Structure 1
Amino acid sequence: MSFFTSLSGLQAAQTEMSTISHNLANVSTNGFKRSTTQFADVIASTSNSNPTQMVGSGTVVKSVRQQFSQGGFTQSSSALDVAISGEGFFIVKGSDASNNVSFTRNGSFLVDSDRYVVDAQGNKLQVYPVDGSGAVVATGIASTVSLRLPQISGKPEATEDVTLSLNLNANSVIPSDDDRWTDVPYAFDRFDPATYNHSAQTTIYDANGNALTLTTYFVRETTPTTAEPTSDWTAYSFVGDKQLNSGTDPDDIEPIAMTFDGTGKLTAPAGPTSFLGFLAPGATTEQMITLDFGDATTQVYSPFSIDASSQDGSPVGQLEGVTIADDGTVRASFSNGDSQALGKVVLASFSNPTGLRQLGSSTWSASGLSGEPRLGEPGANGFGGLMAGAVERSNVDITEELVGLIAAQRNFQANAKALDTASQISQTIFNIRS
């Protein structure tokens, strides 16, 4: 009997060393939870056994129990890396058609080729659906959705109204042209800076959200008889290579005539100038825009300056960044200034987390021992909060594991010695009989 008693001790010590070795091997595994080996003694007894003379039959491994204590945190530069500070597990679903639900503490997520937020195994992070304000609209594990990042946001809006407030320098000289005072009409050439005084550029958008550049060139005029500068200016507006027509005849392109009074206040045009329609590149329908210099446009003795520029068009927004708030709200920002709530990270907890079934890769699944998951939002109802830009490390303490390994080795050697002693005793008995 002592042979089997010592053998059970050897097996138990070997299991403990395997458990410790597994812990040490995963000391750098994010979200890993260490395990400890629990033993129980074996007693074979009957109702008529004398309790004062009972001898045990060895030991047995009762369980290999996981320890779900908090691991340390490692800072990360990724916006999708997130750690749970406190109780809870992330919920992820498998990338295959089965959509198996599993749970993890490893919050190192990335974006796959289909723009889903996934872990290293391709499991999709689950979130609660939210409305435009970020409020949760459905709860329960059946209502969770896989977090997916959109590529664009909003609808394109063609520019219709442009406002441009500026100051034209009252000291501006007349653009030089040797032919100006001959019978040859003075010719404005936007490619020749000598033929205009100032220019202003404004980005506008066509019906498809494509960016176009509206460039307006300002030329100071003179009186034909004295050649002295006046308070009159001419504004030539172009969208790309197309000159805009402020007149009514499509065959006679007219620029905008600007007039200022003696105080430098704009007197004409008195309101927005409407241009005839123009075709944007690739467009089939003409686009109509107006240009309004407003009441703030002046001609005073100070350098040319653009004080304000605005337009009412907008492009389609391209995804620029993603953030995860402490309460789990995932929000995307776009190049057109839009901000969109994509969902709220949902956490799960269990009445007996040590009963979870290990799946590897720092993931677990529910079992009959763990109970059904209880779902909640980060930071509410006893769930831990989230720390964006951080990842939870393994909770393995190397010093503690090495001390445990020494104790397990000692136990193994002691049981091996007991087995050797029992063998020697048996050999002695065999020698007596012979």
Structure 2
Amino acid sequence: MAFNTGLSGLRAASVDLDVTGNNIANASTVGFKSSKVQFGDLYASGFLSAGTNPIGDGVRVQDVKQSFGQGNISFTDNGLDMAISGDGFFILNNGGEIRYSRAGQFGIDKEGFVVNNQNMRVQGYTADDDGNLSGIRGDLQIETGNLAPRRTTNLTTDVNLDSREPVLENQVSVMGEFGGTSFDGVPFNLDGTGTPPVPVTAFPAGSFTVSYNDGTPDRTVTIPAGLSAKDVAAAINDEEGLSASATTELNFPQIDDAYIQEPGFDFNLWIDGSEVFLDLSGVNSVDGLISEINGSPSARNLFASLDDDGELRVVDNSGNTLSYNFSNDNDVGSDGTDTQLGIVRPQADRSVEDVSVSGDPLYADTWADRSLSTTNSFNPIDQRTYNHATSTTIFDSLGNPHELTQFYVKDASPSNGVGQSQWSIYLQVDGELVAGTDQQPYTALFDQDGVLQSVNGDPNGEIVVTDWVPKDANGNPNGADGPPDDPTAVVSPIPEPAVSSAFVVNLGSATQYGAAFGVNDQQQNGYTTGRLSGLDVSDQGVVFARYTNGQSKSLGQVALAAFNNTDGLSPVGDTTWVETFESGQPVIGAPDTGTLGSIKASSVEDSNVDLSAELVNLIIAQRNYQANAKTIETSDAVTQTIINLR
């Protein structure tokens, strides 16, 4: 019997050595759980009893039990590495077989699926195209394609309008008629016709007298001969109550793609005698010439584009004198000089009653049959005609950015300043007034506490824009969705998917306090297209994709599984386990819910092997093995003594 007892001890000690050695070998294995051998003694027993003096038959290995205690969490530089802090297992799809693991070293395969080092796919809750998580469990997949653009359908603006701002009552506008064309409240060109300005290389001498109704002495405006458009505008701007802007425009109907592609093509521009540097070596089309002009550092205020007839146009918005020449080997070309005066506008700081005109017909025709009177004329390019303005970027259906500007003008109170204030609101997209504000502004009313009451009677403070046509840099429709066929059918909020360029401006949070104008918040829901730039994982296991347009979208959520009897799981290698009858069925849910642990991104869970304890166990197992071997050796010696008896 001693032989059998010793042999059982050797077997048990050998198993203990194997388990301890396996723990030591996996001390650096991510997600590994250490094991411990559990022993039980053996006694012979019969049906009736084990006798009065039973002697044990040795030892047997009852179980090799794993310890599922938490391992240390170490940070990594891989955004998809995950560690579970708390209870739970990752769910892995191994070609249809479901496995469970604590090892969170994950990456992406060629098809975009999140996988571990053995190409087992990580399972989780999938998301739809808008990033909304569902309750459907499947293999997590990362979409590596571009994020499609989204048009702006809602803009929320939270602003404070300064209640201390004055009411802009002393604005002036042009009244009268010339040549059958009405000029009421409209800026006019300094050529007397209302058409684009007449080219003038050097303006003739002229003068006109401005009379004021507030007792200010009359002022005579004298324009010396030979001034450029910029100088004439400056002379008019010096007079109270008047404003002018200068523009010089050159048109080149002769220059087309064929002309440029002829040998020896040459094109030169000068601004007030200073040459604009142009590199024509790679230019073989009108579009290429436009890009070269607009991109030249020495072009200053020049802007080249195609006009309505598709011909090359170069504009200087400062009224500088422009000189040019162009030619090719088959054409002597042309050269010339041009300077023009653009729009004349009334100013906001004077009420002008009458203007008498004398001098050159160019100036006489400009003012003939016109007078200036006090109105509340809004002019978006004249900062004196509005109190506040703020801009933000919105996007059309193709993802093209456009600049939306909101203008706020303090009006006279409808209740004589008692308990109520009124502001006019104008909206402009890319320099064009929208929402009908070119005809009539929206009216915002505030109560005595500075709280918004309504915008055009709407207590929600919403402005529905239904007349916006998205355009390109040349002012032409860019192919994106335009206004709805029936503007009256547009409702707020605009349902998805949107089918027009209509959008809502929400001013419901606007206030009017005695504090400086400020934009507290401004949010819009559109964006341009974006490329995948990175991935993030939240504590709830949600995988977020980051894109180059600043947007992020949920791609899915990692699912975790827990078991009533974790010790019942069966290890199958690769730091994975499978479900057994003893473990029970898994309880599956999202991380950080119920009893499930949270996810630590860019981290892994280290092995929970205590190396110091395992080395001590190794010494103990070795001594146990040696002691049991001694039992066999002693039994052999006793048996040999009996055999030697005669």
User: What TM-score do you get using the length of structure 2 for normalisation?
Assistant: 0.47
Q: Which residue of 1 aligns with 2:141?
A: 148
Distance (Å, rounded) in 1 between the aligned partners of 2:580 and 2:298: 83
Matches within 5 A, 1:13-412: 13-49=13-49, 51-94=51-94, 98-131=95-128, 136-138=133-135, 143-155=136-148, 187-188=268-269, 194-195=275-276, 216=294, 235-237=302-304, 244-246=305-307, 248-250=308-310, 252-256=311-315, 258=317, 259=342, 266=381, 271=432, 275=474, 316-412=529-625
Distance (Å, rounded) in 2 between the aligned partners of 1:220 and 1:425: 111
Question: Which residue identity lines up with residue 144 of structure 2 in the other structure?
Answer: Q
Is the 2:268–2:275 contact (alpha carbons within 8 Å) kept by the matching residues of 1? no
Q: Structure 1 residue 193: deviation in Å?
A: 8.2
Is the 1:73–1:393 contact (alpha carbons within 8 Å) kept by the matching residues of 2? yes
Structure 1 stretches of 5 or more lacking a match?
Answer: 159-167, 176-185, 198-211, 222-232, 238-243, 279-285, 289-311
Is the 1:129–1:137 contact (alpha carbons within 8 Å) kept by the matching residues of 2? yes
Q: Structure 1 residue 145: deviation in Å?
A: 1.5
Distance (Å, rounded) in 2 between the aligned partners of 1:412 and 1:335: 64
Q: Structure 1 residue 213: deviation in Å?
A: 7.6
Match of 2:43, SS? coil
Match of 1:144, SS? strand
Question: Which residue identity lines up with residue 609 of structure 2 in the other structure?
Answer: V
The verdict on how the C-alpha distance between 1:333 and 1:50 changes in structure 2, with shifts beyond 3 A counting, is: closer
Question: Which residue identity lines up with residue 137 of structure 2 in the other structure?
Answer: T
Match of 2:312, SS? coil
Is the 2:115–2:122 contact (alpha carbons within 8 Å) kept by the matching residues of 1? yes
Is the 1:152–1:316 contact (alpha carbons within 8 Å) kept by the matching residues of 2? no
The verdict on how the C-alpha distance between 1:213 and 1:420 changes in structure 2, with shifts beyond 3 A counting, is: farther
Match of 1:420, SS? helix
Is the 1:196–1:217 contact (alpha carbons within 8 Å) kept by the matching residues of 2? no
Q: Structure 1 residue 314: deviation in Å?
A: 6.7
The verdict on how the C-alpha distance between 1:133 and 1:400 changes in structure 2, with shifts beyond 3 A counting, is: farther
Distance (Å, rounded) in 1 between the aligned partners of 2:7 and 2:589: 48
Distance (Å, rounded) in 2 between the aligned partners of 1:220 and 1:114: 50
Question: Which residue identity lines up with residue 68 of structure 1 in the other structure?
Answer: F
Query: Number of aligned pairs?
Result: 340
Distance (Å, rounded) in 2 between the aligned partners of 1:234 and 1:426: 114
Distance (Å, rounded) in 2 between the aligned partners of 1:113 and 1:367: 33
Pair 1:5-2:5 in alignment? yes
Question: Which residue identity lines up with residue 32 of structure 1 in the other structure?
Answer: F
**Identity in percent:** 34
The verdict on how the C-alpha distance between 1:256 and 1:409 changes in structure 2, with shifts beyond 3 A counting, is: same
Q: Structure 1 residue 236: deviation in Å?
A: 2.4
Distance (Å, rounded) in 1 between the aligned partners of 2:526 and 2:86: 47
Is the 2:276–2:298 contact (alpha carbons within 8 Å) kept by the matching residues of 1? no
Greater fraction of residues in strand: 2
The verdict on how the C-alpha distance between 1:356 and 1:126 changes in structure 2, with shifts beyond 3 A counting, is: same
Is the 1:74–1:393 contact (alpha carbons within 8 Å) kept by the matching residues of 2? yes
The verdict on how the C-alpha distance between 1:249 and 1:397 changes in structure 2, with shifts beyond 3 A counting, is: same
The verdict on how the C-alpha distance between 1:68 and 1:387 changes in structure 2, with shifts beyond 3 A counting, is: same
Q: Structure 1 residue 255: deviation in Å?
A: 3.6
Is the 1:328–1:377 contact (alpha carbons within 8 Å) kept by the matching residues of 2? yes
Match of 1:254, SS? strand
Question: Which residue identity lines up with residue 126 of structure 2 in the other structure?
Answer: P
Is the 1:277–1:287 contact (alpha carbons within 8 Å) kept by the matching residues of 2? no
Q: Structure 1 residue 395: deviation in Å?
A: 0.3
The verdict on how the C-alpha distance between 1:131 and 1:62 changes in structure 2, with shifts beyond 3 A counting, is: same
Distance (Å, rounded) in 2 between the aligned partners of 1:132 and 1:59: 62
Give the alignment partner of residue 636 of structure 2, picking from 417, 423, 432.
423
Superposition RMSD in Å? 4.0
Question: Which residue identity lines up with residue 70 of structure 1 in the other structure?
Answer: Q
Is the 1:220–1:234 contact (alpha carbons within 8 Å) kept by the matching residues of 2? no
Q: Structure 1 residue 376: deviation in Å?
A: 1.5
Match of 1:103, SS? strand
Q: Structure 1 residue 27: deviation in Å?
A: 0.3
**Residues 11-45 of structure 1, C-alpha deviations (whole Å, 9 max, x = no match):** 00000000000000000000000000011111111
The verdict on how the C-alpha distance between 1:323 and 1:43 changes in structure 2, with shifts beyond 3 A counting, is: same
Q: Structure 1 residue 403: deviation in Å?
A: 0.9
Match of 2:47, SS? coil
Match of 1:21, SS? helix
**Residues 315-342 of structure 1, C-alpha deviations (whole Å, 9 max, x = no match):** 5321101100001111101112331101
Is the 2:570–2:579 contact (alpha carbons within 8 Å) kept by the matching residues of 1? yes
Distance (Å, rounded) in 2 between the aligned partners of 1:413 and 1:234: 96
**Residues 101-122 of structure 1, C-alpha deviations (whole Å, 9 max, x = no match):** 1111011111122221111111
The verdict on how the C-alpha distance between 1:102 and 1:220 changes in structure 2, with shifts beyond 3 A counting, is: closer
Distance (Å, rounded) in 1 between the aligned partners of 2:529 and 2:344: 42
Q: Structure 1 residue 372: deviation in Å?
A: 1.0
The verdict on how the C-alpha distance between 1:189 and 1:89 changes in structure 2, with shifts beyond 3 A counting, is: farther
The verdict on how the C-alpha distance between 1:134 and 1:327 changes in structure 2, with shifts beyond 3 A counting, is: farther
Q: Structure 1 residue 134: deviation in Å?
A: 5.8
Distance (Å, rounded) in 2 between the aligned partners of 1:122 and 1:31: 17
- More moved, 386-395 vs 48-57: 48-57
Is the 2:147–2:547 contact (alpha carbons within 8 Å) kept by the matching residues of 1? no
The verdict on how the C-alpha distance between 1:421 and 1:257 changes in structure 2, with shifts beyond 3 A counting, is: same
The verdict on how the C-alpha distance between 1:53 and 1:214 changes in structure 2, with shifts beyond 3 A counting, is: farther
Q: Structure 1 residue 130: deviation in Å?
A: 3.4
